[in-house]
Structure 1
Amino acid sequence: MKVLVTGTAGFIGSHVAQVLLARGDTVVGFDSLNDYYDVSLKQARLARFMDHPNYVHVQADLADRAAVEAVFATHKPQRVVNLAAQAGVRYAAENPHVYVASNVTGFLHILEGCRHFGVEHLVYASTSSVYGANRAMPFSEHSPAEHPLTLYAATKKANEQMAHSYAHLYGIACTGLRFFTVYGPWGRPDMALFLFTKAILDGKPIRVFNHGHHKRSFTYVDDIVEGVVRTLDRVPGKDPDWSGERPDPATSGVAPYRLYNIGNEQPVELLRYIEVLEDCLGRKAVMEMLPLQPGDVPDTEADVSDLIANVGYRPVVPVEEGVANFVRWYRGYYGV
């Protein structure tokens, strides 16, 4: 297939592009290479596949309507994986307009491209953050998620609703993927594992919020990518069992639309996560214990029963293996 992948210089997008290329797909990569974090890291990710004969790269911003239209008109992708977004929960307090430009306006441009150029299936990244104030564990796609606690989460919830409207109005098959705390090699420098590793190796204290007692469904990047690729290959249709009553949040009923969680079913306490990292580095962390930050939720736990039943897949990599892989990459990449 010819697949448009946005965010190919990003953490998850670069991994997805590599897997699609390895299996024989043609990938049209789209990324702005903005300076939210170290651009040289983004360039290094791209360098792993930039010269592949089935890869074409476009450097542009999703918020640039003309640039997005040109990509669809020129390359006519059969399917789209939208992973480009302004990431980071806390950065929104400083730059809220960037989130709306990239995550809402940019996503509209993707939807319009899919509408006008006959795309077979759009897979897009959402987040476990949409569950927000919901405290019913584990988090299920079939439960309402109407109370996001951050602007980042609100933009991703908007993506889900925008996708549903386009699926209903124009028959565009859309699958949204709620990612749970992704980590692994080539990760973002603003993420906890990256920050902790650098600080411990530099002999500096790490900031541990909620005194380390919150739990997360930490999910290794290879597990996320496997879920993305498998759902890309499974094009949703309308729910044949819909009775005409209130549609299920995960399946719609009136549109070719699905939502899936992709997360490890076994949540891990942050203090245990740090302990695993200490073992891998062979050094102890100096911890500055702090209260829970505004917008953070105490715990996340992924219900992936739909992913297992419909896609035939569940994330399996334990944190002991995943953190060790990250540390090995970090030491090699930074020479420490």
Structure 2
Amino acid sequence: MEADLSGFNIDAPRWDQSTFLGRVKHFFNITDPRTIFVSEQELDWAKEEVEKSRRGLVPPGTQVERLLYAKKLYDSAFHPDTGEKMNLIGRMSFQVPGGMVITGFMMQFYRTMPAVIFWQWVNQSFNALVNYTNRNAASPTSVRQMALSYFTATTTAVATAVSMNMWTKPHFVGKWRVTTSALERACTPFHSAFPSPPRSPSRELIQGICVKDKDQNELGCSRRAAAVGITQVVISRITMAAPGMILLPVVMERLERLHLMKKVRVLHAPLQVLLCGCFLLFMVPVACGLFPQECKLPVSYLEPDLQDTIKAKSGEQVLFAYFNKGL
């Protein structure tokens, strides 16, 4: 459709971001896994279209849907802070295909120690790349800090998974064989996921995260803002993984009783991966939409010294601080 684009703001959210439903619709749009198959040339075209629209250089007669499609591709592939193209694996649009394979294999191959260690390492490497790709780019991270965070998260997750795997192995009490349920054993990957999300951004908790006013002017760095942002990201990540990791073992346990599944065991892993994808297809946008991507905090909540700095510069005019919490 053609429309008057004189008042069109391409950066204005298509859906109301103050509501949960509006945020879910927004993230359904930008986490669409089909966007990972878009060519580099088309992504560059999308960025050019967005930049033209921002400068008011859109040719007359341009369709609104064309601009909205360009913005969808732009949001799916370019960092909101820097505008730089993100690596493919770290994009939120890659969460469904990447997460379904890793999560499905983690729950399928949990019976041997080498398999547990390998898939936990793959999972933590994937999480670390996603965390880094979707970080708040206003807070630079050194190579040493990234390496330390990666090592800590991976070691903690592998140790937790190995401990859970050993605890759930069948054992004997006298002549009785005692074993945990298939559900509890299959949830071993989920237990090990809990320590990992807070590890990567630990530097932000120490140094703080950059906060800005509504006009995007930097106000300073706040540790309290970092704590709020990290807490919301952790809750979102757990919400994203929980339904699949908790409900899928129950579903698989029922399906594996079927004659066909007993006869053709090679179907177990592909089916589990496919079902993981079904869960993630809905849970990725729902989890991302739990909280606004741009956090808003009262200045009165920030550290006293930062409050004093803001008041010295702007008086009482700045009431709220804003920052991108990442995803």
Q: Mark yes or no: TM-score above 0.5.
A: no
Higher RCO, 1 or 2 (CA under 8 Å, sep at least 6)?
A: 2
Q: From the two aligned structures, give the one with the greater strand fraction.
A: 1
TM-score, length basis structure 1:
0.30
Structure 1 or 2, whichever has the larger Rg, is: 2
Instruction: Return the structure number with greater helix share.
Output: 2
TM-score (norm 2): 0.31
